[in-house]
Amino acid sequence: METGAGAGTETATGTETETETQTMPRYEHTDVSFDVPRDWEDRSVVAFSVPAKPGQGMAANLVMTRDTLAAGEDLRRYGDRQLVEIARRLDGFQLHARQEITLGGQPALELRFGWRGQGGPLEQRLVFVAGRKPTVLSFTATMPRSEAARLDPVFDRILASVKLGQG
């Protein structure tokens, strides 16, 4: 059995998988790019934070994540499932609002809630929007409760600037 370059469908470990023979798409970012197997899910996380002040326990931040909708699940059901899980996990959880909004021209669901973090009371805004099927994008803004009035307009501007890819 031939191994290494030019081995065709045979490798040192046996027959190649579909992933090994496919042309891999390129992941592109301003700081890095690399190839990934076509059948892998993009689970990348994007995070930004306010510069921390000396002695500050928690810096406000915005995190965008990707997830996959369950079979037969729509955005509303996904949001409800997440809400139940969040309420169960967070100490002192208090839902302030659950509303349907628009994000990047698409229907979205926003949850606003507070809870007790290790460094004190926190406020969070969680916005779900459908991406390319079956992906859901989640934008989570987290801030100390004492900073919420000042930072809510900043997060409003960030969310208003969202442009979604065509899919």
Q: Are 101 and 110 in contact (CB under 8 A)?
A: yes
Query: Domains of the chain (ranges plus CATH)?
Result: 42-160 (3.40.1000.10)
26-53 confidence digits (pLDDT tens):
888 889 999 999 889 888 899 999 998 8
Buried b (16+ CB within 10 A) or exposed e, 51-70: eeeeeeebebebebebbebe
Q: How confident is the model at residue 58 (pLDDT cuts 50, 70, 90)?
A: confident
Name the token pair of 9: 């469908």
pTM above 0.85, yes or no: no
> DSSP secondary structure string, 97-139?
EEEEEEETTEEEEEEEEEEEETTEEEEEEEEEEE-STTEEEEE
pLDDT at residue 144 in the model: 95
> Which positions ≥6 away from 120 have C-beta within 8 Å?
57, 58, 144, 145, 146
How many of the other CB atoms lie within 10 Å of CB of 122?
A: 22
Q: Which residue has the higher pLDDT, 1 or 156?
A: 156
